[in-house]
Amino acid sequence: MIEVEQVSRTFGTFKAVDSISFSIKTGEIVGLLGPNGAGKTTTMRMITGFLDMDSGSIKIDGKDIRENPKESKRKIGYMPESAPLYGEMIVADYLEYVAQMQGVNPKEKVPQLASVCGLTDVMHKNVSDLSRGYRQRVGLAHALMNDPEILILDEPTSGLDPNQIIEVRSLIKEIGKTRTVIISTHILSEVEMICDRVIIISRGKIAADSPTSELRTRYAGNSNVIVNLSGAEKTEFENVISKIEGVCSISFLDTNDTENNLPKEIEKPLIARIGIKDNAEIRNVLSQKIISNGWNLYGLTLETNTLEDVFKTLTTGGEQ
C-alpha cells in the first residue's frame, strides 16, 4: 500500500507538485498520466525517496518513508526513463554487479531475471551494443533485482519501435501480476492496454483518478450518434427525436462536405448528430422512430469519447 498525502515540491519558484493525495493498493497497476512538465516524474521520485518533499507525507505499508528510508526503499524497484547503465560492461557482468551491490545471490537471481526479462540471448553482449529495447529490459532487470513489492517505471517504452513496445508492455503486464506497478507515461494507448487505474496530473495537481474502464464515462462529455437518413425535414426530425429519453442535443452536418452512406439520387438527404446524455443507449428506439415515421435509414454510428478526448479536456492549459 502506497499513501501519498498532501505532498508538494517546488524547484525555486516553480511548484512542480501541488498538494496531491492518492493511495495505491497492493497489486494494482496504475498509470500516472499527464503532459510534459505536469509533475509525474517528480511525484515518482518522491515516492522512491530520491527527492524529498517540501510538505506532506508518503507512507509505504503504513510507514513514513522519511522515518524508515532504508526499509521503504528496499520495497521499491525504480526504472527511470533513460536507465543509467554501464555500457562497457557485459550484460551478465552488469547484472551480477547489481546483485552483489544489493546483497543478492547472483548465481540464483541473475539467470532468473534473464529469463523473466527476455535477456538470455544477449547476456554475452556489451550493454552499449544492445538495442534500446534490450537496454530497457536490462534496466527492468536491475529494478527487479531485490524482488521489490513495488515497481515504478518512468516512460518505460519511450523511444522504442512498435515491436519493442509490444514486447515491453507484455513483460510489464506479466510482472504486474505479482507486484504493485506505477507507470508514468504520456502514451494514452499504453494506459488502456496495461493499467487497471489512471491518475491524471496537470499543473502539479490531480485532475482525475479513476479505474481505466470508467475514465471516459466519468470525465468525458456526452457521446453522439450519427444518423444518415432521407425523407425528413430538419424541423420534423428534431420534433420527433428530441422527445426520446436520453437525447440532449441535435445538430445537422453538411451532406456535401461529409463522407456518408447516402445514395446521391435520394431526395431530402439528412445527416444528424444526436448528443446522448450520460451515454444512454438510444439506438434501438432511434431506429424504430425513424422507420415508423416513414423515413429511410441508411446508417447509424455511435461516436464514443476516446481517452485522448478525456486527456485533452482535463489537461488543457496544463502543459508546462
pLDDT at residue 111, as a whole number? 94
- What pTM was computed for the model? 0.74
Specify the pLDDT at position 320: 35
pLDDT at 212: 84
Q: Which CATH class is domain 222-304?
A: alpha beta
- Domain limits, the chain: 2-218, 222-304
Q: How far apart are CA 92 and CA 142, in angstroms?
A: 11
- Show Cβ contacts of residue 318 under 8 Å, excluding neighbours closer than 6 positions: 34, 35, 38, 202, 203, 207
Question: Percent of the chain having pLDDT more than 90?
Answer: 52
pLDDT, one tens digit per residue, over 31-64 is 998 888 889 889 999 999 989 999 999 999 999 9
Amino acid 130: pLDDT: 92
Give the pLDDT confidence of 246-291 residue by residue, as tens digits. Answer: 999 999 988 775 555 666 777 788 999 998 887 788 999 999 999 9
The CATH superfamily label for domain 2-218 reads: P-loop containing nucleotide triphosphate hydrolases (3.40.50.300)
Q: Which pLDDT score is estimated for 318?
A: 37
Whole-number pLDDT of residue 106: 93
SS3 track for the chain: CEEEEEEEEEECCEEEEEEEEEEECCCCEEEEECCCCCCHHHHHHHHHCCCCCCEEEEEECCEECCCCHHHHHHCEEEECCCCCCCCCCEHHHHHHHHHHHCCCCHHHHHHHHHHHCCCHHHCCCEHHHCCHHHHHHHHHHHHHCCCCCEEEEECCCCCCCHHHHHHHHHHHHHHCCCCEEEEEECCHHHHHHHCCEEEEEECCEEEEEEEHHHHHHHHCCCEEEEEEEECCCHHHHHHHHCCCCCEEEEEEECCCCCCCCCCCCCCCEEEEEEEEHHHCCCHHHHHHHHHHCCCEEEEEEEECCCHHHHHHHHHCCCCC
CA distance 183 to 155: 7
How distant, in Å, are the alpha carbons of 24, 41, 113, 202 from that of 58? 11, 15, 29, 20
Q: What is the pLDDT of residue 257?
A: 57
> Residues 12, 177: contact at Cβ < 8 Å?
no
pLDDT at site 176: 84
C-alpha–C-alpha distance, residues 193 and 162, integer Å: 14
Residue spans of the chain under pLDDT 50: 317-320
Buried b (16+ CB within 10 A) or exposed e, 201-213: bbbbbbbbbbebe
